[in-house]
Amino acid sequence: MIVRDAVMGDAAEISIFLEELASLGKRNLPSDADYVRTHYIGHADKIQCAVAEDEDGTLLGLQILKMASEGNAYGVDVGWGIIGTHVRPSAVRRGVGKALFAATRKAAVDAGLSRIDATIGATNLEGVSYYDAIGFETYKTLDTRICKCFTVT
């Protein structure tokens, strides 16, 4: 597995596994390729958008790190990072998420971030366990969401 920056040409394949996650009830946001291009790979607040790729070129997962800007949808303090992680359902528990975060953490250091927010559905046990495992800690709970924070070191 390698981890690299996502390029626009990855959008269609990323969209396929986002649709899979949606059909499993693990995603509520749009999953089409245009959304991937505008909200992830080409977003103005993007710090890094990394993909993990198998030896045969199959994309296994995506992790986005954005800068929290004024009026961001998650209500995160301006200047924090905001992270999102999406792993192809057939590739979970193989260390894809961990490998993606090694690259994202480096990008956060390079960008001078001090904190990263991960906002997760309160019933999303795999998401909560994943962020716990990579060093995030709960700092806020909302009605249906848990907000976790990583202190960048």
Q: Using CB under 6 A as the criterion, what x/- string covers residues 55-94 for binding ligand COA? A: ------x----------------------xxxx----xxx
- Select the residue interacting with ligand COA from 18, 120, 146, 149 (CB under 6 A): 120
Q: Distance between CA 8 and CA 153 in Å, rounded? A: 30
**Count of residues that interact with ligand COA, criterion CB under 6 A:** 21
**DSSP state letters, 87-121:** E-GGGTTSSHHHHHHHHHHHHHHHHT-SEEEEEEE
- Select the residue interacting with ligand COA from 11, 36, 59, 130 (CB under 6 A): 130
| CA atoms within 13 Å, Cβ hemisphere of 26 | 18
- Select the residue interacting with ligand COA from 49, 53, 67, 97 (CB under 6 A): 97
DSSP-H helix ranges across the chain? 11-23, 33-35, 96-111, 125-133
- Site of interaction with ligand COA (CB under 6 A): 21, 26, 61, 84-87, 92-98, 120, 124, 126-127, 129-130, 133
